[in-house]
Structure 1
Amino acid sequence: MTDVASTPGPAERTAALLGELTALIVRHAGGTPVRKTKILDGVAITYADRPTLPVSAMSEPSLAVVCQGVKRTVLNGVPHDCRAGQYLVVPVDLPVTGQALEAGADEPFAVFSMTLDPAAIAPLLLETAPTGKRPALSGLAVSEATPGLLDPVVRLLRLLGRPDDLRVLAPGIEREILWRLITGDQGALVRQIGLANSSVARISRAIRWIRGHYDEPLRVADLAGLAHMSPSAFHRHFRAATSMTPVQFQKQIRLREARALLMAGPAEVAETGHRVGYGSPSQFSREYRKAFGAPPGRDAARHAGQGAGTESKGPIPVPRTHEASSW
């Protein structure tokens, strides 16, 4: 006879899975103050033993499961905190700022992340009946992680250090993770990523155009045509998905590209502004300062000083090799 009293409930099982996930991430990504380790194409684990400074990044459609600590993601000035036992879904490419908000040597920051590929999601939609739900578009969505989602993540990380097993078994486990997302709290939103004609897919096409042509003039009517929407519907859906207007989105892309150019080496501020699409040097400097808290030249010098690296017990900068990823 099964002892019902000894059977762990969902809360106990979740806690056990999170504990194992954290231990696996520490084992395979620990050893330095902060480290993001790619384990497969589109799959990574992140570790930090202390809080980090905010890092600008373009976050692609992705899943992030916080195993320990607090992950803060700022979108258009609004912070979104994802805590241990929660997961974050990003449905479209977004310019965000991310950081490990809570982390320590005894309780390090530990996160599992995976890109959400429309081509991988689409076949799974054939296995489910339409729900009839029309999700409210949102740039970021946070939910509680269930044992059903955490279990395949644990099994995937258990394969680290066994390359043959990882190569053969990982695709099936990644598919299971996607299935748990599709059938979970954020399922309606994740489905939109895999549907070729969904509003998420249409807005994604417009976002890709802006990212590839950020230095060019932007006409909302042209973007609406690309998304096969009326201008008013496009503006509404774009703002819902990104929390920004198309013009504000383009501005953020321009400023982040300008910052990357300035951090890469010595550059004239006016020339950098021109390269990213600004016709007025004064407007470029004004908007850059508003976005990053300091004029372009001073901001670049400040980050160059941080890169020189002195030992600190406070928040640490994340190496620039990690900035292109979904933090």
Structure 2
Amino acid sequence: MPQLDELAAIVAQNTRDDGIFDTDIPRLSLIRFSTTTQPLQTLQHPALCIIVQGSKQVMLADEIYVYGPARHLVVSVDLPVSSQIIEASPDKPYLCIRLDLDLPALGTMIMEVAPPAAEPAGICSKAICLAETSPQFLESALRLLRLLDSPDDIAYLAPLAERELMYRLLRGPQAHKVRRMLMPDSRLQQVNRAIAWIRQHYAAPFSIEQLAAEARMSPSSLHQHFRDVTAMSPLQYQKQLRLQEARRLILANAYDAATAAQHVGYDSPSQFSREYRRLFGAPPIQDVTRLKQEPGRYVEA
């Protein structure tokens, strides 16, 4: 698809070095890395990710999503994932477009745009999906990225180009799944209320009954649908948030492991160290030392 070459040229032109770069277009970031990376556990916010060169692997619990230029990824709720660039080189770097989703605007569009043909059976309920990238989809992305060369037009034309891209998303091969992910009365939105509550209170203990009341679901329904959406239980989700925040505190704020553990809600330092090692592959101090020594190999990409 020739659109991929032009998109890759625009991303390369606007990312001279490796890293993640904000643009003048709201919520649009460009990503470039010239080497593969180690897996990084991170909290993936709702976004559309379009790879135009190279490839990447995303793991949600024990489910693996691998995609490159022929596919794009959509995430509709905050999900703890492990991501890793698996194809990149100095001559042919990994290049990606990430658009953080305006979920209220997309939800309004769902009510306005007619769905495609009859919904297929057996649609997965996960809050993450991969879809084939069509030429029409790439043309819409191109119209958005070409505005980087005409900044005076961004304020007026970028919302129109983004709306066209979202329209393609809602009419594409994964349209029914995207709609199910974002319909205001869907199970996923009920689970999203539980996710928002856990994120706000991640350091405090909670009961499934309490969380179910926040989500306006029964405890049994919450437990089932939470796992359907996130591939983990509410308590596993909370644990991932706690450990990722502890890692950030140790790395960015120079907390020692015991202080970080207490800050994120652990009463037992030994349990914290054990669970930290299980998630990140090394004890806290060793893990953070490794991150500082090889920052380019452990990136949110």
Same fold per TM (> 0.5)? Answer: yes
In 2, the alpha carbon distance for the partners of 1:65 and 1:232 equals 36
Residue of structure 2 in register with 1:8 after alignment: none
Whether the 8 Å CA contact 1:214–1:276 is kept in 2: the answer is yes
Alpha-carbon distance in structure 2 between the residues aligned to 1:222 and 1:92: 21
In structure 1, what is the equivalent of residue 8 of structure 2?
A: 22
Q: Distance in 1 between matches of 2:249 and 2:292?
A: 13
Counterparts of 1:96-135 in structure 2 under 5 Å? 96-129=81-114, 133=119, 135=123
User: Shift of the alpha carbon at 1:317?
Assistant: 3.7
- 1:197-216, CA deviations, whole angstroms, 9 ceiling, x for partnerless residues? 21121111111111111100
1:49 maps to 2:37: no
Aligned to 2:297: 316
Contact between 2:115 and 2:170, CA under 8 Å: does it hold in 1?
Answer: no
Q: CA RMSD in A?
A: 1.9
Q: In structure 2, give the amino acid aligned to 1:25.
A: V
1:299 partnered with 2:278: no
Q: Deviations over 1:111-162 (max 9, x none)?
A: 1111222211122123234677484311321121011211110111111131
CA distance in 1, matches of 2:179, 2:292: 42
SS at match of 1:205: helix
Deviation per CA, 1:39-75, whole angstroms, max 9, x where unpaired? 4222111112221233332111111111111011122
Superposed CA offset, 1:216-238 (max 9, x none): 01211222222222212211111
Separation in 1, partners of 2:177, 2:228? 13
- Once the two structures are TM-superposed, the CA of residue 193 in structure 1 deviates from its matched residue by 4.4
Residue of structure 2 in register with 1:159 after alignment: 147
SS state of the match for residue 148, structure 2? coil
Three-state SS of the structure 2 residue aligned to 1:217 is coil
Q: Report 1:223-262 matches (<5 A).
A: 223-262=211-250
Residue 65 of structure 1 aligns with an amino acid whose one-letter code is I
In the superposition, the TM-score normalised over structure 1's length comes to 0.85
Q: Which moved more, 1:227-236 or 1:130-139?
A: 130-139
Shift of 1:18: 0.9
Conserved 8 A contact 1:88-1:142? yes
TM-score of the superposed pair, with normalisation by structure 2: 0.92
When structure 1 is superposed on structure 2, of 246-255 and 127-136 the one drifting more is 127-136
Pair member with larger Rg: 1
Q: Is the 8 A contact 2:20 2:29 kept in 1?
A: no
Return closer, same or farther for 1:176/1:161 CA change in 2, 3 Å cut-off: same
Question: Are the structure 2 counterparts of residues 39 and 47 from structure 1 closer, same or farther at C-alpha, using a change threshold of 3 Å?
Answer: farther
Check conservation: 1:121, 1:193, Cα contact below 8 A.
Answer: no
Q: Structure 1, residues 59-101: CA drift from partner, whole Å, max 9, x if none?
A: 1111111111101112224432111221011121101122321
Question: Residue 47 of structure 2 aligns with which residue?
Answer: 62
Q: Give the unaligned 5+ runs of structure 1.
A: 1-14, 308-314
Residue from 137, 147, 163 that aligns with 1:175 = 163
Change (3 A) 1:107 1:130: closer
Instruction: Letter of the 2:129 partner, please give it.
Output: A
The amino acid of 2:166's aligned partner reads: L
- Indicate the SS of the match to 2:216: coil
Q: How many correspondences in the alignment? A: 298
Query: Partner letter of residue 249 of structure 1?
Result: Y
Q: Is the 8 A contact 1:34 1:47 kept in 2?
A: yes
Cα distance, 1:289 vs structure 2 = 0.8
Change (3 A) 1:80 1:163: same
2:194 paired residue number: 206
Q: What are structure 2's unaligned runs of at least 5 residues? A: none
Aligned to 1:148: 136
